[in-house]
Chains A and B, each alone.
Chain A
Amino acid sequence: MSKIKKIFLNGIWLENPVFHQVLGVCSALAVTTRVKNAVVMSAAVIIVAALTNFTVSVLRKIIPFNLRLIIEMIIISTFVVIFDIILKAWFFDMSRQLGPYVSLIITNCIILGRSEAFALKEGPGLSFLDGIASGLGYTLILLSVATVREILGTGSFWGYKLISDADIPARGLSMAGGAFIVMGVLIWVMNSIKLSGNKEV
């Protein structure tokens, strides 16, 4: 298996940051009431993760070991701030809806975790791809949770009404409690698929 293929397989499925390593769950729960928000948030995480990984990897030989966490935090914050400003300038409504959660990408452990575990050891090109791959893993979870919550909780998809207001199946899913439950069930399903896969091997 080629190295690139392995990076993507690990990031999206085998070592999916959210349900395998429980990283970055906070934002995954908060922004998934609507698919649109989830897409924007995922885009933010993919871009920030890829660029941070790339930068850390380029600088990895000159970063002093003891100061690496602080330097990584500064690199991450810089990219998050840039994304936040772009969002505020061109998509103000979206920026209001996401509230502080875009800024909170700074403390999203996926990005720091990947730059610690991967970018400090590998070259810039591969690190960039690794950032995209873990971002895609995060996207997979976000989109699944958001699709279930938006359709069952508000009766629409991407803002378009699918079900009339009177027939919405589970309004509770669009509230906070529903987020945890959908996420829990999703983790259950994915773990079960993984477990049954392991048995066959």
Chain B
Amino acid sequence: MEHSPVLILIAAVLTNNIVFSGFLGMCSFIALSRRIDTAVGMGFAVTFVSTFTTALNWLIYHYVLKHGALSGVSFLDGVNLEPFTMIVFIAVIASFVQVVELIIQRISHSLYQALGIFLPLITVNCAILGVSLFMVIRGYGFISSVAFGFGSGLGWMLAIVLMAGLRRKMRFSKIPPGLEGIGITMITTGILAMIFMVFNGMVRIN
């Protein structure tokens, strides 16, 4: 069943949150959730990149890579490029990030200060590649894909900002030595994920 883009957007933020139900982007989620301002910066960068790379990847997948997409071109008839999907997606993401970094560096120094340092980290953020792969698996249309990419980015930002706020409070708590750092972050994320399950009744996409 095809859902409306608005539903997909809401679901990607709340019920199918990329961190809490998709387990994606965990590395940077844990590493960058120590401070709220870095969390917000990285959140914006992820939202921006995931929206645009999903759109680009959708176009490339449906007009070039998909089985039969090139059948109009006579000498490429019968060529199946689908096995290259992942490699192309990763290349698109990496080059998009590079281009954006260059543009931001030229036009706005303050924006570069705010977002620039996070951009190289995004290439290895599996949330971005994950969103593109989910889009293919779930067979979204173009508008839905963009909504899904944007919503996933917003959901990731919501998750990391919430986590950064909680970790700031936790700095003053007494935590057993072995649990400090990653351990307590994991358990807190688990509790947050359970809290987010409350939204499940609202809307559910698969």
- Give me the interface of A with B, judged by CB distance under 8 Å: 19, 22-27, 29-30, 70, 73-74, 77-78, 80-81, 84-85, 99-100, 103-104, 106-109, 112, 172, 175-181, 183-185, 187-192, 194-195
Contact = CB atoms under 8 A, between A and B. Distances in A.
A188 B126 CA distance: 25
Contact of B90 (A77, A178, A191): A77
B115 to A, nearest CB: 20
In this complex, the interface size class of chain B, counting residues with CB under 8 Å from chain A, is 35 or more
B116 interface: no
Given A109-B124, A181-B187, A188-B178, A175 B137 contact: no
Contacts of A24: 27
5 contacts: A26-B130, A99-B137, A176-B193, A176-B197, A187-B186
Interface string B179-193: 100111111011111
Majority SS at the chain A contact face: helix
A115 B188 CA distance: 32
Interface string B132-144: 0110010000000
B94 interface: yes
A187 B94 CA distance: 32
B72 interface: no
Interface stretch (B3-11, B16-24, B40-48, B54-62): B16-24
A176 B134 contact: no
B151 interface: no
B92 interface: no
B11 to A, nearest CB: 14
Contacts of A189: 178
Contact of A187 (B134, B137, B183, B191): B183
Nearest to B180: A191
B133 A100 contact: yes
B193 to A, nearest CB: 4
A9 to B, nearest CB: 20
B178 A26 contact: no
Contacts of A108: 126
Interface string B65-91: 000000000000000000110110010
B126 A19 contact: no
B149 interface: no
A134 to B, nearest CB: 15
B190 A188 contact: no
A19 B194 contact: no
A49 B153 CA distance: 29
A77 B24 contact: no
Given A81-B83, A100-B133, A100-B137, 10 more contacts: A22-B27, A24-B27, A25-B23, A30-B23, A177-B191, A177-B193, A179-B23, A180-B189, A181-B187, A188-B176
Contacts of B192: 177
B177 interface: yes
A80 B86 CA distance: 9
Nearest to A191: B178
Contacts of A179: 23, 190
B30 interface: yes
A89 to B, nearest CB: 12
Contact of A77 (B86, B125, B134): B86
B97 interface: no
